[in-house]
A and B are shown apart, each in its own frame.
Chain A
């Protein structure tokens, strides 16, 4: 601060101003950070790949652990269940959040802070605490409601083949991510003008939502869907505590007897998810370039 004040005083005085110091930008630490953290992130992935492809008996390489994934015991059921849960979660979350966000943006801007706070709440509650509460609520079915339709409904939610209770919990867990992704899209687009134009041309509200709002928001809807889907596919805590077998709990179950298989599935799931996300971001970029040109 004193140096700055001196500089200002010097500029106003009669003496010729001191020559401006040449700007020195040392980028060395940035390279160091990139290299060190790059290694930190690359080594576990590289080592796990090595762990899965080397052949212990013959000493060569083998892809048998990767080839064995689809046929592994329990994989198809668990993975299929996770995919279904993911699709249902994405659908329900979008059905809930897209109209809400559009409504708040166009009609109830004063509620924006409230909605934002509400959707961020799940970040504050640890999933394990949430699931303990959910378990207590589910325990009411046999204890208090036995023989009533309420109990029947609660038992139906816990069908092991497709546990809807997980969908409900996952929608709550995904809310912050879905909200943030959609909110970014809404802020970037001039939704008010577009919807007013559509309304003036005689479009009904459902039609506005489907033909105007969704296409404008398609990148953020895609982003939100992807984040929610990835969250469901990787979620372990809730499924494990409630005792359902999904993709992650399956990995943990087989890890004891088939360590290589579990690592192979882990690496593959990370890499495939990353690849898909890269693809989405590349599509997004191409669309933006098309729109600006």
Chain B
């Protein structure tokens, strides 16, 4: 069920339709086309946005998870944060986009507050740009990080911290020599997951910016819905195959890091 579409994708990305005779043939034209021009820009844009949001989301999500787990009498807070994370990370997409449109979109409440009431303006910020998209993406990436990293944080035994304290270690030394090395593999893994999730996101971007920002997912949808350009369908397949390859590379890198850290830890 999963493999068939991907296999078909991998094969048909190498087919081309002749514009005049509509005959199909084997060709690398689609693959060549998606590595240059606007499509190249779309890949770079997607990669950049995903990398930035993944790192920011991982750092902020980790901080939030630690803060929530360490909070005194934090059981209710914890339950609220974890369930909210579950909703935002999985339900995501469209509702978030509209919530942000109502907040800092052109007719948004905060936009009106800042420009009309306070006379400050948004300082050049626009929701319909890469920065705007990053702001919305973080709204579901931070919860995703909280969800994936909380089990790893719970596995950090308080005894280790106490042992380090008793030996006179500072907080920095504890994190440098004990907590950090134990947490590094799950944190790297979660960051990769965030990257993949951000790279694959389509709904939010579609609802927010249409196709004014160069992103691969938006380009794919454009190519599929285009009735004008002959062979656009194959272009979409080539673009999609490229996405699978990129995420595959990221996962391979993750597996490599995982193996290295495991060898190092034992």
Residues of A at under 8 Å CB distance from B? 1, 3-4, 7-8, 20-21, 23-25, 27, 29-31, 33-34, 37, 40-41, 43-45, 47-48, 50-52, 121-137, 168, 171-172, 177, 227, 230-231, 233-237, 240-241, 248, 251-252, 255, 259, 262-263, 265-267, 269-270, 273-274, 277-278, 281-282, 285
Contact = CB atoms under 8 A, between A and B. Distances in A.
B99 interface: yes
Interface stretch (B37-45, B64-72, B116-124, B256-264): B64-72
Contacts of B71: 30, 34
Nearest to B113: A47
Contacts of A127: 200, 202
Contacts of A48: 98-99, 102-103, 109
Contacts of B237: 132-133, 136
Interface stretch (B6-14, B25-33, B152-160, B179-187): B6-14
A121 B6 CA distance: 12
B98 A124 contact: no
Contacts of A282: 79
B28 to A, nearest CB: 18
Given A30-B71, A37-B64, A128 B109 contact: no
A266 B87 CA distance: 12
Interface string B68-95: 1011000000011011101110111111
Contacts, number: 226
A274 to B, nearest CB: 5
B51 interface: no
Contacts of B142: 37
Contacts of A240: 203, 206, 221
A278 B80 contact: yes
Contact of B95 (A43, A131, A177, A269): A269
Given A27-B70, A47-B108, A270-B87, A234 B5 contact: no
A44 B111 CA distance: 12
23 contacts: A3-B173, A27-B70, A30-B66, A41-B84, A41-B139, A44-B99, A51-B102, A124-B196, A126-B247, A128-B200, A129-B220, A129-B240, A129-B243, A130-B5, A132-B220, A135-B224, A172-B2, A177-B90, A230-B87, A231-B90, A251-B95, A270-B96, A281-B83
Interface in B123-179: 138-139, 142, 165-171, 173, 177
B83 A255 contact: no
Interface residues of B, number: 76
Contacts of A266: 94-96, 98-99
A82 B12 CA distance: 31
A28 to B, nearest CB: 11
Nearest to A50: B109
A7 B168 contact: yes
A123 B166 CA distance: 43
B98 A262 contact: yes
A27 to B, nearest CB: 7
Interface in B220-266: 220-221, 224, 236-237, 240-241, 243-244, 247-248, 251
Given A4-B169, A124-B196, A278-B79, A168 B1 contact: yes
A136 B237 CA distance: 9
A233 B168 CA distance: 52
A263 B102 contact: yes
A255 B207 contact: yes
Nearest to B91: A234
Nearest to A227: B90
A240 B168 CA distance: 59
| Interface hub of B60, B68, B84 (most chain A Cβ within 10 A) | B84
B133 to A, nearest CB: 14
A277 B83 contact: yes
Contacts of A7: 167-168
Among B84, B98, B220, B237, residue most surrounded by chain A Cβ atoms (within 10 Å):
B98
B94 to A, nearest CB: 4
**10 closest A-B pairs (Cβ-Cβ)?**
A133-B5, A126-B200, A266-B95, A236-B203, A51-B102, A129-B240, A47-B103, A30-B67, A133-B9, A234-B91
B76 to A, nearest CB: 10
Contacts of B93: 234-237, 248
Contacts of B94: 234, 236, 248, 251-252, 266
Contacts of B12: 136
Nearest to B3: A121
B102 A47 contact: yes
Contacts of B90: 177, 227, 230-231, 234
Contact of A44 (B2, B8, B64, B100): B100
A227 B86 contact: yes
B63 interface: yes
A83 to B, nearest CB: 15
Given A51-B102, A230-B91, A20 B108 contact: no
Contacts of B95: 234, 251, 265-267, 269-270
Nearest to B109: A47
B20 to A, nearest CB: 20
